[in-house]
């Protein structure tokens, strides 16, 4: 699988086991109804069109997120907006699911805690907040990314389990 660890310090992270296969997905995006001038769902403070919207709209034209953090933010926004094709197209073929069905959750916010890249590998730690079935939840994840042919892909993530009460 992947030759590095999630918290490997800046340095060489091996990616020889991740050989990019021809894309299995052509991103036929559903019509995105998020207004271009509205704030981006990733909470960058930028308008959607100047932030994640450019990566969502430009995917088929070869316009890709330039950093692991930008890709992670655009994937969070894709979850918020229900852009399943974008999520699949930005998932590395070696770890991507064949299909993806999104749970009916309401995404409430994103906090990027740490982003780092070294060569063609990157790591982003974040906390995403959502409401699922009326219950507030937090997902604390450290995600791994790899760059192949100049394009970043999501590999996988390790979700930190919430601490049990009293610990």
What mean pLDDT do residues 51-65 have? 93
* Distance, CA of 58 to CA of 65 (rounded, Å): 9
pLDDT per residue as tens digits for the range 98-125: 889 988 899 999 999 999 999 999 999 9
Q: Are strands 121-132 and 106-118 parallel, antiparallel or unpaired?
A: antiparallel
Q: Which two tokens stand for residue 146?
A: 């790899």
pLDDT given for residue 15 in this prediction: 42
What mean pLDDT do residues 126-144 have? 94
* Distance, CA of 116 to CA of 48 (rounded, Å): 23
pLDDT given for residue 39 in this prediction: 94
* Distance, CA of 6 to CA of 115 (rounded, Å): 12
pLDDT given for residue 18 in this prediction: 43
| Residues 114 and 124 sit within 8 Å (Cβ to Cβ) | yes
More confident residue, 76 or 29: 76
Query: What are the structural domains of the chain?
Result: 48-160 (3.10.450.50)
pLDDT given for residue 82 in this prediction: 94
pLDDT given for residue 22 in this prediction: 35
Label residue 93 by pLDDT band (50, 70, 90): very high
pLDDT given for residue 161 in this prediction: 81
DSSP E strand stretches across the chain? 106-118, 121-132, 135-148, 151-160
Q: Which two tokens stand for residue 163?
A: 């601490």
């Amino acid at each position: 699988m992947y030759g590095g660890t999630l918290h490997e310090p800046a340095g060489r992270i091996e990616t020889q086991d991740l050989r990019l296969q021809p894309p299995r997905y052509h991103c036929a995006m559903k019509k995105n109804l998020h207004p271009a001038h509205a704030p981006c769902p990733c909470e960058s403070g930028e308008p959607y069109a100047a932030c994640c919207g450019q990566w969502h709209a430009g995917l088929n034209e070869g316009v890709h997120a330039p950093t692991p953090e930008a890709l992670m933010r655009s994937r969070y926004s894709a979850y918020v907006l229900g852009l399943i094709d974008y999520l699949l197209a930005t998932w590395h073929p070696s770890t991507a699911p064949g299909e993806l069905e999104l749970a009916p959750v309401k995404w409430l916010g994103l906090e990027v805690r740490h982003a780092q890249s070294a060569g063609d590998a990157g790591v982003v730690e974040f906390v995403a907040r959502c409401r699922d079935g009326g219950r507030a939840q937090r997902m604390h994840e450290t995600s791994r990314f790899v760059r192949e042919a100049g394009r970043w892909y999501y590999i996988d993530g390790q979700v930190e389990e919430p601490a049990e009460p009293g610990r």
